[in-house]
Amino acid sequence: MAAEILKRIEKAVSKGSGKGVLVAAIISVGLILFLISLGVYSSVFYENPILYFASAVIQAYAALIAVPFTIWVIYMQSRYGAVIVRLFLKEIVLPFVIFGVVTAVSAITIALSRTEYANLAYMAEVIVALVFIPPLITYIVRLMITGPEDVIKVIEQNVRRKEEFISLTLHILRLYMLESYPDEEAVNRTLRKIVYVMRDVTKLDLYPDIWHRFRDFLKTVVVETTYLPDKYYMSKLMTQFMKWFIVSNKYRIARAFLRYYRHVALKYMEERLPSDVIEDMFLKPTLMVLKEARAGRSLLTYALEQTDSLLRSIERLGIRGDLTSREVCKIAELVEEYVNALEGVRLFILDQRIARIKRKFACIIRKPRIRRIEIREEKEQERAKEGKA
């Protein structure tokens, strides 16, 4: 609620910033004309007031900048870390520029307080003091409502190395998802950016910090948050990371993430239709990637063991009645199709489990989808040949 109120204030202030400067200028000119109309124009009248007024202006601007900025730095450092605060250094120059201009003008007006130009100096001090207030307030409000998307934009602008961008963005995204009701579109846009940066993992260097950030992100999805990102972008992200592990020869890390992927798939099954989830959230990021990357036999065997563990959990859900027999059969059929696609690598206990599930839940025996696709392609080729003839 407080964030929404601040955003409304920011929009109002942002829209009224230009008008605010104009209003401040009009007030300044009006005040000056009012003093002139009273006959208070001689420099003698401004010798002492200009000293007090200039000192007050400097102190007011110093407090207006220092207090919100200090609060903002403490908040950002405690939530996002010191690295993110350093990235914002280029973004927080404006208040100090304004303070420098106000200080310089005040110094000049104080120097002119005992001269015949004291009246003009006082008027200039009034104009400067009022004109810079609207843009400064607008900037402070924008700074105080800095959100995760704003932080990611700053990271994108200031970080040159793709690996560092991936690591920092995953960290920010994890913190954002811990909020009660994160913006779904913002999360999906962020995942899309990460996937785009990872489109060619062969050109990227894999560092421990990156997979630790990814591991923490997956743990947040499984344990700490009630919100689940879009399965399409999550599947793409998990797929690209598994490819990255294989390309970088990080087989031990890949083994660990096979377990994490199984937990993520089970978490999604609690909220989504299981048969729609298992392919995108587990089979494609694991078995398909390992097949295409021609991973070693030991890693493929371990992936099949994790698949068996996942299928065992699904079987238990079906026995308890949490899943319908149709869903269990469909999942078993999908697993069988992906396992059959792995040439020369089998796991006897997994084959037994698939056969037992089909028998226990009275599944309809169908042709494997891979064979159905081959038959369809053969028919299309025959039609093309007939057309040419």
End-to-end CA distance of the chain: 71
CA atoms within 13 A on the CB side of 112: 19
Task: Give Cα 282 distance to the centre of its chain.
Answer: 23
Kindly state whether residues 128 and 159 are assigned to the same domain: no
Q: What's the pLDDT score for residue 12?
A: 42
Domain-located, residue 244 = no
Kindly state whether residues 31 and 102 are assigned to the same domain: yes
Kindly state whether residues 221 and 278 are assigned to the same domain: no
Count of H-run helices and E-run strands, the chain: 19, 0
- Cβ atoms within 10 Å of 290's Cβ, excluding its own: 23
Domain final residue pick, 110, 128, 144: 144
Q: What's the pLDDT score for residue 310?
A: 93
Kindly state whether residues 315 and 259 are assigned to the same domain: yes
Kindly state whether residues 138 and 184 are assigned to the same domain: no
Kindly state whether residues 155 and 85 are assigned to the same domain: no
Q: Give pTM, 2 decimals.
A: 0.76
Kindly state whether residues 333 and 285 are assigned to the same domain: yes
Domain-located, residue 246 = no
Kindly state whether residues 114 and 166 are assigned to the same domain: no
Domain-located, residue 235 = no
Residues lower than pLDDT 70 in the chain: 1-46, 180, 365-389
Domain final residue pick, 214, 229, 244: 229
Domain-located, residue 247 = no
Kindly state whether residues 120 and 151 are assigned to the same domain: no
| pLDDT cut 90: percent of the chain above it | 31
CA angle at residue 14 from 145 to 22, to 5 degrees? 145
Kindly state whether residues 17 and 106 are assigned to the same domain: yes
Run of H or E including 84: helix 82-87
Q: What's the pLDDT score for residue 15?
A: 46
Total domains present in the chain: 3
Q: What's the pLDDT score for residue 373?
A: 42
Cα radius of gyration rounded to whole Å, the chain:
32
Kindly state whether residues 196 and 283 are assigned to the same domain: no
Kindly state whether residues 151 and 137 are assigned to the same domain: no
Residue 59 sits in which domain range?
2-144
Domain-located, residue 30 = yes
Q: What's the pLDDT score for residue 204?
A: 92
Q: What is the dihedral sign for C-alpha 253, 256, 262, 264?
A: negative
